[in-house]
């Protein structure tokens, strides 16, 4: 009888803990070995720890569960409770999300962190209105240009097909006289191999992940902005959590955010070295090309302020006042 009681008691404990654990699938868009995805794994481990096992997240990197372009909708509609996406890819729906893709507004990690501090409030308001809650953001290294040839000015870019990853990169490419082709990082190697694109805008990180030295020869650092990926939760799912679980998730998110940003900064020069070691020329852009890009950046900043009204102005004023 005693044995039976013990068995029954332990079965009910088991049942109780299994019933408490919520299993969350988390789609991510970039390679499993990329530091963003590796931090997704770190985040999931921390969440298990800080929620006492209540939330059990499984990471699905490389667009394997939902392609990059589908992740926001999947989380908004509750098909996935949580997911990661480059935030500025939402700018085709709402220009506010372009806050971190304005060329030459914030070009260092320090400036990028300040800009997010300034942008956080208004951006979170827009996300909440879309049924999303941002848990953490993490910057990519500075953005530069990949080509198959030497490029010294916009005249050399004219007529080339360049891969874009959001509305802002498409605008930069068009302003340079090139033709933008929107392609997910996961499909980039294929696009370069088949001639769908002859180059692209990105950090050293994505060039390294996609081994683009097999198809391209030149990288111009420029480093004009540092777009951020972010991890979002469906707002209904978030609101249904008790306060302790929310606090555990947020603590995991805050720690992951800090370590992911530090890793991004630490790796930025290493990526350049890897591109060089694999035969690419990695250099600063010519003064002429830089001046052309700066003019494009100034136009994009002015247009963004116009299209985002009060919220954009609040972000810009807060940033400039820091
Ligand atoms: N890599 C991502 C976005 C920014 C970056 O550095 C990409 O190219 O898709």
Percent of the chain with pLDDT over 70: 94
| pTM, rounded to two decimals | 0.93
Q: What's the chain's length in residues? A: 322
Q: Please state the atom number of ligand 1 nearest to the C-alpha of residue 29.
A: 9
| Average pLDDT, rounded, for the chain | 95
- Give the helix/strand (H/E) hosting 180: strand 179-182
Q: What does the pLDDT look like over 103-117, one tens digit per residue?
A: 999 999 999 999 999
Q: What does the pLDDT look like over 146-197, one tens digit per residue?
A: 999 999 999 999 999 999 999 999 999 999 999 999 999 999 999 999 999 9
pLDDT for 20 equals: 73
**Looking at the domain covering 144-225+275-320, what would its CATH class be?**
alpha beta
Beta-bridge mates of residue 164: 182
Residue 297 pLDDT exceeds 70: yes
How far is Cα 111 from Cα 255, in angstroms, rounded to an integer?
20
Q: Which of 33, 205, 222 to mutate to test the pocket of ligand 1 (most atoms within 8 A of CB)?
A: 205
Mean pLDDT throughout 233-262? 98
Q: Which of 37, 67, 86, 267 to mutate to test the pocket of ligand 1 (most atoms within 8 A of CB)?
A: 86
The architecture that CATH gives domain 21-94+109-139+227-269 is 3-Layer(aba) Sandwich (3.40)
Helix residue ranges, H only, the chain:
2-20, 35-50, 71-76, 109-129, 154-157, 167-175, 188-193, 204-209, 235-239, 243-277, 287-320
pLDDT for 309 equals: 98
pLDDT for 152 equals: 98
pLDDT for 19 equals: 54
Q: 3-state class of 148 per DSSP? A: coil
Q: 15-24, 32-41, 92-101, 298-307: which has the minimum mean pLDDT?
A: 15-24
pLDDT for 13 equals: 46
Q: Which of 146, 164, 165, 267 to mutate to test the pocket of ligand 1 (most atoms within 8 A of CB)?
A: 165
Mean pLDDT throughout 83-94? 97
Tokens of 265: 């900064």
Give me the residue spans of the domains in the chain.
21-94+109-139+227-269, 144-225+275-320
Q: Say if 21-94+109-139+227-269 and 144-225+275-320 have the same CATH topology.
A: yes
Mean pLDDT throughout 300-305? 98
How far, in Å, from the CA of 104 to the mean position of ligand 1? 17
Nearest Cα to Cα of residue 249 among 18, 36, 65, 22: 22
């Amino acid at each position: 009888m005693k044995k039976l009681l013990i068995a029954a008691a332990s079965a009910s404990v088991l049942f109780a803990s299994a019933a408490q654990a919520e299993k969350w699938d988390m789609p991510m868009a970039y390679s499993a070995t990329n530091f963003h995805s590796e931090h997704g794994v770190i985040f999931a481990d921390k969440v298990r720890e800080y929620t006492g096992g209540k939330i059990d997240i499984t990471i699905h990197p490389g667009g394997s569960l939902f392609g990059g372009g589908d992740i926001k909708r999947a989380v908004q509609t509750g098909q996935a409770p949580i997911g990661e996406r480059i935030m500025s890819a939402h700018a085709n729906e709402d220009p506010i999300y372009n806050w971190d893709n304005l060329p030459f507004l914030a070009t260092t990690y320090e400036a990028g962190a300040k800009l997010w501090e300034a942008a956080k409030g208004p951006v979170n308001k827009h996300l909440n209105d879309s049924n999303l809650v941002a848990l953490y953001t993490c910057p990519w290294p500075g953005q530069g240009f990949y080509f198959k040839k030497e490029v010294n000015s916009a005249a050399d870019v004219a007529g080339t097909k360049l891969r874009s990853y959001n509305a802002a990169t498409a605008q930069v490419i068009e302003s340079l006289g090139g033709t933008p082709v929107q392609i997910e990082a996961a499909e980039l190697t294929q696009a370069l191999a088949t001639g769908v694109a002859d180059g692209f805008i990105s950090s050293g990180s994505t060039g390294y992940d996609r081994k683009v030295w097999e198809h391209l020869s030149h990288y111009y650092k420029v480093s004009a902005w540092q777009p951020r990926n972010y991890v979002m939760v469906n707002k209904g799912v978030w609101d249904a959590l008790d306060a302790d679980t929310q606090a555990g998730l947020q603590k995991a998110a805050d720690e992951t955010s800090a370590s992911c940003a530090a890793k991004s900064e630490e790796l930025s020069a290493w990526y350049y070295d890897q591109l060089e070691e694999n035969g690419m020329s990695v250099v600063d852009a010519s003064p002429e090309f830089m001046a052309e890009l700066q003019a494009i950046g100034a136009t994009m900043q002015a247009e963004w302020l116009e299209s985002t009204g009060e919220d954009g102005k609040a972000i810009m004023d807060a940033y400039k006042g820091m």
